[in-house]
Structure 1
C-alpha cells in the first residue's frame, strides 16, 4: 500500500465506536482541554507534520487559551494513533487551537503555521512520510477561509522568490476533530527531549 496516497472511503478501515479520553486540563497552562470553552474564544485547526512539535509552536502564543492534538480530515471515526499510522484512515495529525481573537488574530496563527514547516513537501514533512503528515488548514468560517487563501498566495510568492516549489497545503472546511491519546497531548512538555521533526524553510511571511 502507498501511504502517501489518500484512499477512497471504501478503502479506509471501519469506524471505532469509542472516543479517546484525555485529561481535562492542559499540561502546560492548566486550562480546559474539552468543550465547553469560555465564551468569546475562537477555534483554529492546522496540520503541519508531526503534531508533537506543531502543538508546541502554539501553546505559548499570547492569547492562545488551549491546544489539543488529534486527527482530522479523514474518514474513520474515532481512530487510534495506530489506525492513523497505517495510512488507512485518511486523517492528518492536527493541532486544534482555542484562542482569544481579542489578543491574537487568525492571521498571526497562519503566520506561525506557514513559518513552522515546509508546505511544499506533499504527503510528508522531513523524514516523516505519509498522508498523516500532510499540510492542511481546516477552517471554521468564511473569514478564516479568505484569510487562509490570502496568506497562501502571499507565502507562495515568498517561497517562489527563494527558489521553492508549489505549496501543497489544502484548505478545507473543519471536519470533526478526534482527540489523540492522552500521552500525545502536550507531549514535548511531558518529554522535553522528545522527537520533533518539524522544521520551517527559514522564509518569513510577515509584512
Structure 2
C-alpha cells in the first residue's frame, strides 16, 4: 500500500500551516454494513459498546486482526490524528494531511476488555519503527492509540510499560507509539468504501504482518 501521489511519501510530520486544506464533507459514499460481521459501520451499536482507535501500519491487515477478535462489534478503517478535514486516501499518502491509517474498533467490554483489545494491538505489529511499518514508510504508517475512556488510557500506558522490556529482550528499540485521547487526536474520517474490509473482499491482497513475536502481559485488573 506504499503509494506515491504528487510528492514522495513523507517521514516528517507536516505542520498545520502546510497541511492540505481538505473539504467540508466526504468526497465519497461510506458503506453502511460490515461485510464480515454484518453490523453497522457507522452505528448505532448496542448500548454499552465502547470504541478505541488503533493505528499499526497498513490498515487492511490491522482491521482483519480486530474483526476476528471475539467481542468486537464492528471495525472500520479511516484517517485520524492529522489536520486535513475529510481527506482522501491519495491525499493521506502525500504525507500532507498528518493523518495515520487507523482502525475504529467498537467492542463489547462485557466480552472483551479494553486491555485485551490493546494487547492484541501490541502483539500484531512492531511499535518501535516510528514513521514506518516494514517497507511502508511515511507518517501515515505510524503506530497510535487514540482512547475514548479512562480504562483504555490506563490499559494503553500500563501495557506499554510492561511490553517494552519484552521487546528489549528481543533486540527491538524504544516504543514510538503515540497515545492520546481521541478528542485530542481529532475526528476519525472513514476511508473510501473499497478500503473497508479490504482483505475480506480481496483475500490475496498485500498486507504483511510485522508482529515482533513478543507477548504483551495482561494489565492488572483487565
Could you state the TM-score of these two structures normalised by the residue count of structure 1? 0.97
Identify if the C-alpha distance between structure 1 residues 128 and 2 changes in structure 2 by more than 3 Å, giving closer, same or farther. closer
The secondary structure found in structure 2 opposite 1:97 is strand
Contact 2:45 2:73 in 1 (8 A): no
Q: 1:205 and 2:216 equivalent?
A: yes
1:183 equivalent in alignment to 2:194? yes
Counterparts of 1:133-144 in structure 2 under 5 Å?
A: 133-144=141-152
SS for the counterpart of 1:40 is coil
Hey, what does 1:166 align to over in structure 2? Answer: 174
Please tell me the root mean square deviation across aligned C-alpha atoms, in Å. Answer: 1.2
The equivalent of 1:37 in structure 2 is 45
Please say if residues 123 and 129 of structure 1, whose CA atoms lie closer than 8 Å, have aligned partners that are also in contact.
yes
- Deviation sequence 1:158-184 (CA, Å, 0-9, x none): 111222110010101112110000000
- Structure 1 residues 35-44 or 93-102, which shifts more? 35-44
User: Is the CA contact 2:9–2:93 (under 8 Å) kept in the aligned structure 1?
Assistant: no
Residue pair 1:31, 1:65 contacting (<8 A) in 2 also: yes
Q: CA deviation at 1:205?
A: 0.8
What SS does the aligned partner of 2:17 have?
A: helix
2:119 corresponding residue in structure 1: 111
List structure 1 runs of 4+ shifted beyond 4 angstroms: none
Secondary structure at the residue paired with 1:11? coil
> What corresponds to 2:164 in structure 1?
156
Q: Does 1:11 align with 2:23?
A: no
Shift of 1:143: 2.1
Distance (whole Å) between structure 2 residues aligned to residue 144 and residue 28 of structure 1: 25
Q: How high is the TM-score relative to the length of structure 2?
A: 0.90
Matched, 1:94 2:94: no
The farther-off stretch of 30-39 and 92-101 is 30-39
Range with bigger deviation, 176-185 or 16-25: 16-25
Deviation at residue 147 of structure 1 after TM alignment? 1.2
SS at match of 2:115: helix
Query: Whole-Å Cα distance in 1 between the matches of residues 9 and 137 of structure 2?
Result: 11
Superposed displacement of residue 2, structure 1: 6.7
Note the alpha carbon deviations across 1:17-44, whole angstroms, 9 max, x for none: 2224221110001111113222111101
The whole-number CA distance in structure 2 between the counterparts of 1:93 and 1:25 is: 20
Where 1:14 maps in the other structure, the secondary structure is: coil
- Length, aligned pairs only: 207
Q: Is residue 127–residue 197 contact of structure 1 (8 Å, CA) maintained in 2?
A: no
List gaps (5 residues or longer) in structure 2: 1-7
